[in-house]
Amino acid sequence: MKVAFVNQPWNSCPGPDPGSIAIWTHQVARRLAHRHDVIVYAKVTRGQLRHERHDRLCFRRFSIRYDQKLLCLVKKLRRSETPTPAFAGPGFYPWYGLRVALDLRKQKCDIVHIHNLSQFLPVIKLLNPGARIVLHMHCEWLTQLPLELVQPRIRNASLILGVSDYITGKIRGGFPEQSIICKTIFNGVQVQALDVSHNIEQKRVKPLTILFVGRLTPEKGIHDLIDAFILVSEQFPASVLRIIGPDSRTPSEYIVDLTEDPKVSELKKFYTESYVQILRERIPAHLRMNIEFPGRLPHAQLEQHYSQADVLVNPSLSESFGMALVEAMERGIPVIGTKVGGMPEIIVPGETGFLVEPGDVQALARTIIQLFADDSLRKKLGDAARIHAIKQFSWDRIAKNIFEAYEAVCQTSRDQQ
């Protein structure tokens, strides 16, 4: 089998600071390449070769310079009342999509796996009619954009993937004609050798630590986490909240402007000034040394912070999956998430962590205090979390699941011929 992965145009793969989708692509691609020919399309960054091969894994990279110039022009010319967001229109990285489609004609791939951008499907299918197209959704865009825009595009898909049953279920409900070709494939985690029996006494000499890992953007609910930490610190004054991630607020048109959830719509108030500045101003003076903002860190450097954490919290109000939850669980750390999106599919309440209602600061604080107050409970949940993460979310398992999905698509296509 010959497989091509089409990254989002702004993702380098691999790169110095890859996003979660580029990480997914690289981890799955290199595993499939043990037995199959695999091509990865991505943007070229400084220091990278445009064409690079490692045995059966090939990287083909394109410049997005002209696409970015076109996008700037499109945004200047757009009218504010235009109903379709810029990212969903024909002016969103069209040259990247066309160059990938033209290159694919030479490659003769069996499977072309596209992340998120449904506008790439028609041109890739037109120029590669024999390929089976897989559309992989890591967000809710398919069901948030106008039906008349999306429906003609996804008719070109042989398989539509969601990163959680939450995403897949919404697609099935929005597009019943395509429901039979919809399937869930979770994100994965790198399994590492680890002593899961945390040395409680050693940790006792360190302050109890809450960890957040992700982009610093309003839908992640970091403002709620800070408010909850203020309450936690009343009982655990030496505790630390470490907020790791880039100051990278999601454009409002990607989530906030599209949602029907009133709690997410209310996040518009955080778009008047820097979100990180809003967060810092929320912190009382006496806690400014207890709340840390290390900023953007390379993925490899996160390990030391996971090892120091007593609990990881994801307080998101909008979340398709919840990658940091799985990473923490694999390292034997109990987790707290909200009952949002795909997070209830990751956390087993009372066994691997806890779930609270989104935006419920009091409940979040109580749950953190419960874990801080009980060493044995933290260890019990952490040990179970690691077992669960390895069983359900290892990259080897994800690669196996995706290959089985490809085989089923190819078999269906053969049966129809």
Same domain membership, residue 398 and residue 281? no
193 located within any domain: no
Q: Which residues pair with 354 in a beta bridge?
A: 336
For residue 303, what pLDDT is reported? 86
The length of the chain in residues reads 417
pLDDT in tens, 58-112: 999 999 999 999 888 877 777 655 667 888 887 899 999 999 999 999 999 999 9
For residue 201, what pLDDT is reported? 47
Same domain membership, residue 236 and residue 147? no
Number of domains in the chain: 2
CB atoms within 10 A of CB 279: 20
Pair 162, 168: CB distance under 8 Å: yes
225 located within any domain: yes
Same domain membership, residue 281 and residue 176? no
412 located within any domain: yes
58 located within any domain: yes
Q: Which of 87, 143, 85 is closest to 320 using CA atoms?
A: 143
List Cα–Cα distances, 247 to 73, 87, 152, 223, 243, in angstroms. 25, 21, 36, 14, 11
Same domain membership, residue 205 and residue 103? no
319 located within any domain: yes
Same domain membership, residue 250 and residue 179? no
- Provide the H-helix boundaries in 128-256: 141-144, 147-154, 165-174, 200-204, 222-235
Radius of gyration of the chain from its Cα atoms, rounded to whole angstroms? 22
Q: Which of 107, 176, 167 is closest to 136 using CA atoms?
A: 167
Same domain membership, residue 180 and residue 89? yes
Same domain membership, residue 130 and residue 271? no
221 located within any domain: yes
Which structural domain, as residue segments, surrounds residue 230? 200-393
For residue 375, what pLDDT is reported? 95
CB atoms within 10 A of CB 397: 16
Q: What is the dihedral of CA 18, 22, 23, 26, to 10 degrees?
A: -120
194 located within any domain: no
- Report residues of the chain scoring pLDDT below 70: 16-18, 79-83, 194-205, 417
CATH number of the domain bearing residue 159 = 3.40.50.2000
For residue 81, what pLDDT is reported? 59
For residue 71, what pLDDT is reported? 86
For residue 240, what pLDDT is reported? 97
For residue 354, what pLDDT is reported? 98
82 located within any domain: yes
